[in-house]
Chain A
Amino acid sequence: MTEEEVRYVADLANLKLTDTEVSRMRAELDEILAHIDKLNEIDTTSIQAMAQVLYQAEDTATLREDRELPCLGQKAALENAPLAGAGYFKVPKIIER
């Protein structure tokens, strides 16, 4: 893994990293990915991927009647916002003029 790749992945992850972090991360991820390559020792062509851990119920078991239930409410939902106003979450400007 190159430092350039680390910076690319950090952008995908919306993570600001310092130069020191980038260089450290490169070495650490490299080592971990080298261990992960171990998986290529096993032939899995005929194996079905495990997409569901455990589900011993009918397909419709998680459906419920279509009726209104009490919800959190605007006030409670905004309570932990770093910045809120007029019933909204406030963020820095998105559209440049």
Chain B
Amino acid sequence: MDIATLHIDSIREGLLARRFSAVELTSEALRFAEAENPKTNAYLHFSPERALGTARRVDEAIARGEDPGALAGVPVAVKDVIVTKGLRTTCGSRLLANYIPPYDATAIARLEAAGGVILGKTNCDEFAMGSSNENSAFGPVRNPVAPDRVPGGSSGGSAAVVAQGTAVVSLGSDTGGSIRQPASFCGVVGVTPTYGRVSRYGLTAFASSLDHIGPFGRSVRDAARVLSVIAGRDPMDATSADAPVPDYASLLDRKVKGLKLGVPREYLKDLTSETGDLIARGVETLRKLGCDVREISLPSTDYAVACYYIIATAEASSNLARYDGVRYTFRNTGSDTLIDMYRGTRGEGFGAECKRRIMLGTYVLSAGYYDAYYLKAQKVRALIAADFTRAFSEVDAIVAPVSPFPAFKLGEKIDDPLAMYLSDIYTITGDLAGIPCMSVPCGRTAGGLPVGLQILAKHFNEPTMFRLADAFEAAGGVDA
């Protein structure tokens, strides 16, 4: 049994043909993941009892002749910002190093109800703030493809485990690119669904108008299967959409001939030459598949980073106010008054990036600045969203790069926060508009570093996005 090459469909087939049991698969997956993990630091902790418990339930269902669920026996890893009942959830923060959540996120409950086996929790930037995974209080993650480089962030661990083969699929979260960018850096598929497609109940809040949960997989089909399981209306999240959830994998018919695709010219100007070449070859593959490719313009793109870092930090400064030393495990010592305890706890507990964002968010929301910053940003956000609405009246999907460059070296950009923010330019627009978008592998640089092609579609049009990505993957990406 080679965990690193398994897919959801091959696991299902193996279980139903009784070639292996879910308990056997889970034991082997845990053994492999624990042995390989020191190479990347992608898992923060494992959950063997919980995993074997789910596996036993899957085996019992099969023995009774029942359907064991859409994700039966599939080894899954979960980003450590998604709460798991009774299983430590740290958010990559010193503040929550010992936090044991009293409930499960809706996405977790749905995963396990479908037979998905949670092996453990993955490393990430503290409270999902970062683009390199270097902001974790528990050390950085190494990119499995190039160990001296970052895996991307903030869902670096969730991308790395899928690339490393220590999980078959995983869950991450995306606020400004935190699923697509690490997927592109590690050479796997990563999906940010439509805003509200997946319930955020139990996702530790960063920026509530931008936060998404989404899957990683080694194939488009695997990611599509996971999304069908976790998506759907949830009374516990008022922003979750009440739209029917298709069986996305069943719609992967590879019929993309005549599909109208737009390539935004604003997304091509700051690319490194190797990334630009690979994206151009990826677009050529789509053209050969019969897609009708044209250049389009998304004119507000230049303002996206400024807009995003106002809205995201403003919301974060409010959401992170709850970590005050009263309810969530960590409290500093030696403070005599309540206010000193708040300030000392937060000063000691948060890392540099969280502090920077809390400060920026507090500043833009402070008395006298609201109109100049937050209100202005919400107006610019409307313009960015309108760009996409206009584009989707002409094209069925948009194809673009995910990141201006491939995975960079550990430590290379950590001292220049603005440069790190600016590198999010191609991913934050999709989050600001709330549209579905994903990264699909698009070849490698001469040095062997993966590059991702981004596909964006209009609200709830995941089927077209997946169909295109699957056809691209089947055609061999840029190696066609």
| Chain A interfacial positions (CB closer than 8 Å to B) | 6, 9-18, 21, 25, 28-29, 31-33, 35-42, 44, 47-51, 53-57, 61-62, 64, 72, 76-77, 79-83, 89, 91-94
Contact = CB atoms under 8 A, between A and B. Distances in A.
B321 A32 contact: no
Interface of B: 99-100, 102-103, 194-196, 209-210, 235, 238-239, 241-243, 300, 302-303, 305-307, 309-310, 317, 321, 324-331, 335-344, 346-348, 350, 352, 355-356, 358-360, 362-363, 366, 373, 375-383, 385, 417-418, 421-422, 434, 459
Contacts of B243: 56
Closest 3 pairs (CB-CB, A-B): A16-B347, A49-B378, A82-B331
14 contacts: A10-B359, A13-B359, A16-B346, A18-B347, A39-B376, A47-B379, A49-B381, A57-B241, A76-B102, A81-B326, A82-B331, A92-B335, A92-B336, A93-B336
B346 A15 contact: yes
Contacts of A10: 359
A50 B381 contact: yes
B417 A49 contact: no
A47 B384 CA distance: 12
Contact of B343 (A15, A42, A47, A94): A15
Given A6-B359, A35-B306, A49 B382 contact: yes
A6 B321 CA distance: 18
Which of B302, B359, B385, B434 counts the most chain A CB atoms within 10 A?
A: B359
A38 B303 contact: yes
Q: Is the interface of B mostly helix, strand, loop or mixed?
A: helix
Contact of A14 (B346, B378, B379, B459): B346
Given A9-B366, A72-B102, A76-B102, A36 B380 contact: no
A9 B379 contact: no
B417 A32 contact: yes
A82 B341 CA distance: 12
B321 to A, nearest CB: 7
B326 A91 contact: yes
Which of B243, B348, B376 counts the most chain A CB atoms within 10 A?
A: B376
Contacts of B341: 91-92
A49 B310 CA distance: 14
Contact of B195 (A12, A35, A54): A54
A72 B103 contact: yes
A33 B372 CA distance: 12
Given A25-B355, A53-B239, A32 B331 contact: no
A35 B307 CA distance: 10
A25 B355 CA distance: 9
A80 B377 contact: no
A53 B421 CA distance: 22
Contacts of B324: 14
A64 B132 CA distance: 42
A39 B380 contact: yes
Given A32-B418, A80-B327, A92-B338, A16 B379 contact: no
Nearest to A26: B359
B122 to A, nearest CB: 21
Nearest to B103: A72
Contacts of B300: 42
Nearest to A48: B382
A13 B355 CA distance: 9
Contact of B309 (A6, A32, A44, A51): A32
Contacts of A50: 378-379, 381-382, 385
Contacts of A44: 376, 379-380, 383
B376 A54 contact: no
